[in-house]
Amino acid sequence: MTAPDAMTAARRPMAAYRATHFAWSCSDDGRVATITLNRPERRNPLTFDSYAELRDLFRALVYASDVRAVVLTGAGGNFCSGGDVFEIIEPLTRMAAPELLAFTRMTGDLVKAMRHAPQPIIAAVDGTCAGAGAILAMASDLRLATARAKTAFLFTRVGLAGADMGACGILPRIIGHGRAAELLFTGRVMTADEGASWGFYSRLVAEDALAAEAQALARSLADGPVFAHSVTKTMLNQEWAMGLDELIEAEAQAQALCMQTRDFRRAFESFAAKQTPRFEGN
């Protein structure tokens, strides 16, 4: 098997994935996947099992041959209420330090898996978005919300630090240090209007339009230059820790790589012919 064939063989379709602890669906062409947290009677809390399955799924999406964008949402008018009080919080009070550290590392691994997945992730947030649910929204690349969205990093309300799953590093980069500090110290609710004006949410949409708006945004990204989008996501992550000279050089190399794709050539040819470009992700 040649090297290019080996790289192709490592990729596999994910549209037929069968989720156990949440709902998974894909568009007919497999390009847009939707993850729906579906325990609406409890406002979609996370469990040990759903944490682990989400982590493993996002890790697997690195090798997806079909999925190009992901929508993350919740069922029943709420996004996610965080870790389940009786299935996670209560058992944690009985664990020793090694088991607690294993748990907090697992939850952090979910955020890392989301950030490392090449697909843009769009959080579609309605109603409650609290604790680990707020982290899932934060770890997504883009966020849409309704006016009903109530986002809270509740960790101090249960005697824990606001430093959870990357919140002290990521949230200030989205909304600014002062605003992030207030939310993480107090655990208060960030209203939908605050979230939109502070840049946490890209925009607010009507409740009955949230799903359609999120799907439309995901579709526009999935039908775009998918390799270039993955490079953009990578650079947004990597450049946090770079100085000016290093990040400009890194972007020069990244853009030169994108200029070698057929998508770049197709875009030029379409522009010259006054046509809309068709991107194929290569």
- Domain locations in the chain as residue ranges: 3-222, 226-272
Whether the Cβ atoms of residue 75 and residue 38 lie closer than 8 Å to each other: yes
At residue 237, the pLDDT reads 93
Cα→Cα distances 68→22, 79, 152, 192, Å: 20, 22, 29, 28
| Domain at 3-222, CATH class | alpha beta
The span from the CA of 251 to the CA of 64, in Å, is 25
How far apart are alpha carbons 257 and 61 in whole angstroms? 22
Q: Is the C-alpha dihedral spanning 55, 60, 66, 68 positive or negative? A: positive
Q: What is the pLDDT of residue 282?
A: 77
Tracing tokens 């004006």 back to the chain, one arrives at 197
Q: Determine the Cα–Cα distance for residues 175 and 231; give it in Å rounded to an integer.
A: 23
Can you give the pLDDT at residue 3?
58
Q: What is residue 2's predicted lDDT score, i.e. its pLDDT?
A: 59
pTM of the full structure = 0.94
Amino acid code (one letter) for 247 = L
d(CA 214, CA 70): 9
Q: Specify the pLDDT at position 158.
A: 87
Query: What's the order of all strands across the beta sheet hosting 150-152?
Result: 128-130, 150-152, 189-191
The gap from C-alpha 105 to its chain's centroid, in whole angstroms, comes to 18
pLDDT at residue 276, rounded to an integer? 87
DSSP 8-state code for residue 188: P
Show the low-confidence residues of the chain (pLDDT under 70).
1-8
- In whole angstroms, what separates CA 225 from the centre of its chain? 19
Helix and strand element counts for the chain (H, E): 12, 9
CA–CA separation, 29 and 69 (whole Å): 12
**Residue 103 structure tokens:** 């748990």
Which of 3.30.70, 3.30.230, 1.10.12, 1.10.8 is the CATH number of 226-272? 1.10.12
**Phi, psi values for residue 139, rounded to 5°:** -75, -15
Q: What is the pLDDT of residue 80?
A: 98
